Amino acid sequence: CSTGPIQCCESTESAASPDGVALLDSLGVVVQGVNVLLGLGCSPISVIGAGGGACSANAVCCENNSFGGLVSIGCVPVIL
């Protein structure tokens, strides 16, 4: 995971989907490319192997986590 810390997100959404477009518009965020994956409702995953690291939703690595967990941009799925 070279783009950022592993996050556990409640859901993921394409930036090109109607829900993704509406969310990005409401935040005033413009993303480059239609194949960008958004992580919604994300929180950091603790260190794997230290009792944490479990994610029952969507484990992802995201380039931009600067929206307070509401949305993370440029995500890539991660298999834990």
Q: What is the pLDDT of residues 9-53, one digit of tens each?
A: 999 999 889 988 888 888 888 877 768 899 988 888 765 554 456
Higher pLDDT: 26 or 67? It is 26
Confidence of residue 57 (pLDDT cuts 50, 70, 90): confident
Provide the whole-model pTM. 0.77
Closest CA to 68 of 46, 45, 40, 48: 40
Report the alpha-carbon distance of residue 79 to residue 64 in Å, rounded.
Answer: 19
> Could you state, in order of their start, the residue ranges of all structural domains in the chain?
6-77
